[in-house]
């Protein structure tokens, strides 16, 4: 069986790992063992951050809707339950956008569900 030399693949793997670890501090950018763990942890943190972003935006929308609803004499929970009872199917993103950009339209919506 002939000998297989894998120098090209090995160098390519190291090169891509070094590119992913570019900008890291100390030996995490150059030492392959530390760079590998740093890149794996960075990927895990990035995934968690993408998941958390959705939760953060939802809570931001809730705060904005609550502030606008209270300005019109209603609380968030009563406003949302009244919307459901009336059958108005607007999600929190749209409601928050209405509350911040179009307060008159939001006030009309609050008066509709009162």
Where do the structural domains in the chain lie, given as residue ranges? 9-113
Which residues touch 93 (CB under 8 Å, ≥6 apart)?
57, 61
The pTM (predicted TM-score) of the whole model is 0.78
Query: What per-residue confidence (pLDDT) applies to 1?
Result: 86
Question: Whole-number mean pLDDT of the chain?
Answer: 96
Supply the DSSP symbol for 26. G
Superfamily grouping for domain 9-113: Ribosomal protein L20, C-terminal domain (1.10.1900.20)
For residue 85, how many other CB atoms are within 10 A of its CB? 9
Q: Which two tokens stand for residue 18?
A: 């070094």
Kindly report, residue by residue over 64-92, the tens digit of the pLDDT.
Answer: 999 999 999 999 999 999 999 999 999 99
């Amino acid at each position: 069986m002939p000998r297989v030399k894998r120098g090209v693949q090995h160098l390519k793997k190291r090169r891509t790992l070094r590119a992913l670890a570019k900008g890291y501090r100390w030996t995490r950018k150059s030492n392959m063992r530390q760079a590998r763990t740093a890149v794996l942890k960075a990927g895990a943190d990035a995934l968690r951050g993408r998941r958390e972003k959705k939760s953060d935006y939802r809570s931001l929308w809730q705060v904005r809707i609550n502030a606008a609803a209270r300005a019109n004499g209603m609380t968030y929970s009563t406003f949302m339950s009244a919307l459901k009872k009336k059958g108005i199917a607007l999600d929190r993103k749209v409601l928050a956008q209405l509350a911040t950009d179009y307060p008159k339209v939001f006030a009309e919506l609050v008066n509709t569900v009162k």
